[in-house]
């Protein structure tokens, strides 16, 4: 079955300050990231961490999508991973995968974080529209949260602070969470410096608490001296919409000559979904049916 898992604990919580000039979101996605790392049969701390960070980043990005909008986060780095792809939408549905780099090929200079240098792109698409808004920034620091902070400033012209924390131990994920605090139109200099001070605060929160992930606790801590109201609380769902029908439709794109070549081999064709590691098997007779549809 394609990936589907609705966590009881994972959610995002959005809020806005009473002044209306600061908005924030906190995400916890530990169970969802664990679900995907198991589906992809990952057992290495480095890649589990990379996938979990990217999933939290994707959810933070999608939390500000309008209804029926979705985002695609594409990270290409020189560190642990060659790339990471995450799809997420305004309904808090998410899926994703990373392509790990063989350990001997990982070259990260001392002053750069584990993602290395590269590119970070965000495609924002409205449902059933094919013209995405694309924002691309260089991956400069190799720390996903810092580079995302730069993304919001550069690509969306919004002063932000992003924090992502993922803890793994012995090949299993202990915690995956994050937050975004942003200045809204009308924000004062004071608001902006308040936002900037939060990256340090996030670190202290984790050093001083052994509590389970709870986005509301994190927001209360981060915004302790502000009055704020909760705008939305949404459960996160691991969801991949792949299906045998979609796989067949994508096979049609390779063209008749290629399909005929596959058919003549007489073997069952195996196709894996990158996003959820679901395996699909297509028989030669199904390939024949597909070829027929090309000649209505």
Which CB sits closer to Zn ion, 203 or 272? Answer: 272
Which CB sits closer to Zn ion, 2 or 113? Answer: 2
Distance CA 36, CA 48 (A): 9
What is the closest distance, in whole angstroms, from the C-beta atom of residue 239 to Zn ion in the complex? 9
Which CB sits closer to Zn ion, 183 or 240? Answer: 240
Q: Is 61 left (phi over 0), alpha (psi -120 to 50) or beta?
A: alpha
Distance CA 163, CA 146 (A): 8
What is the closest distance, in whole angstroms, from the C-beta atom of residue 242 to Zn ion in the complex? 3
What is the closest distance, in whole angstroms, from the C-beta atom of residue 86 to Zn ion in the complex? 13
Which CB sits closer to Zn ion, 40 or 198? Answer: 40
Which CB sits closer to Zn ion, 127 or 246? Answer: 246
Instruction: List contacts with Zn ion (CB under 5 A).
Output: 2, 240, 242, 273, 275-276, 278
What is the closest distance, in whole angstroms, from the C-beta atom of residue 133 to Zn ion in the complex? 25
Which CB sits closer to Zn ion, 62 or 182? Answer: 62
What is the closest distance, in whole angstroms, from the C-beta atom of residue 174 to Zn ion in the complex? 26
Which CB sits closer to Zn ion, 172 or 250? Answer: 250
What is the closest distance, in whole angstroms, from the C-beta atom of residue 37 to Zn ion in the complex? 15
- ∠ at Cα 70 (67, 71), nearest 5°? 140
Which CB sits closer to Zn ion, 29 or 242? Answer: 242
* 219, 179 contact by CB (below 8 A): yes
What is the closest distance, in whole angstroms, from the C-beta atom of residue 274 to Zn ion in the complex? 8
Burial of 292 (0-12, 13-18, 19+ CB in 10 A): exposed
DSSP sequence for 143-165: -HHHHHHHHHHHHH---EEEEEE
Of the candidates 55, 63, 77, the residue with the CA atom closest to the CA atom of residue 5: 55
What is the closest distance, in whole angstroms, from the C-beta atom of residue 150 to Zn ion in the complex? 31
């Amino acid at each position: 079955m394609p990936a589907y898992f609705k966590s009881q604990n994972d959610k995002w919580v959005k809020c806005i300050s009473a002044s209306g000039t600061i908005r924030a979101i906190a995400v916890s996605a530990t169970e969802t990231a664990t679900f995907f790392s198991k589906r992809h049969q990952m057992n290495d701390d480095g890649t589990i961490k990379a996938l979990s960070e990217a999933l939290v980043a994707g959810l933070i990005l999608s939390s500000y999508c309008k209804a029926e909008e979705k985002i695609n986060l594409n990270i290409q780095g020189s560190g642990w991973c060659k790339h990471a792809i995450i799809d997420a939408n305004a309904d808090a549905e998410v899926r994703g995968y990373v392509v790990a780099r063989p350990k001997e090929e990982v070259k990260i200079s001392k002053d750069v974080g584990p993602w290395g240098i590269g590119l970070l792109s965000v495609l924002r698409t409205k449902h059933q529209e094919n013209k995405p808004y694309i924002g691309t920034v260089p991956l400069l620091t190799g720390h996903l949260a810092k580079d995302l902070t730069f993304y919001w400033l550069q690509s969306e012209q919004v002063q932000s602070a992003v924090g992502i924390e993922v803890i793994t131990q012995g090949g299993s994920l202990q915690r995956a969470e994050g937050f975004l605090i942003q200045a809204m139109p009308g924000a004062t200099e004071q608001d902006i410096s308040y936002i900037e001070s939060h990256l340090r605060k996030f670190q202290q929160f984790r050093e001083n608490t052994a509590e389970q992930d709870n986005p509301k606790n994190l927001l209360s801590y981060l915004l302790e001296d502000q009055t704020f109201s909760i705008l939305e609380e949404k459960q996160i769902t691991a969801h991949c919409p792949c299906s045998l029908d979609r796989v067949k439709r994508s096979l049609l794109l390779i063209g008749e000559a290629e399909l005929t070549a596959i058919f003549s081999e007489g073997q069952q064709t195996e196709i894996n979904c990158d996003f959820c590691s679901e395996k699909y098997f297509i028989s030669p007779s199904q390939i024949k049916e597909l070829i027929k549809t090309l000649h209505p």
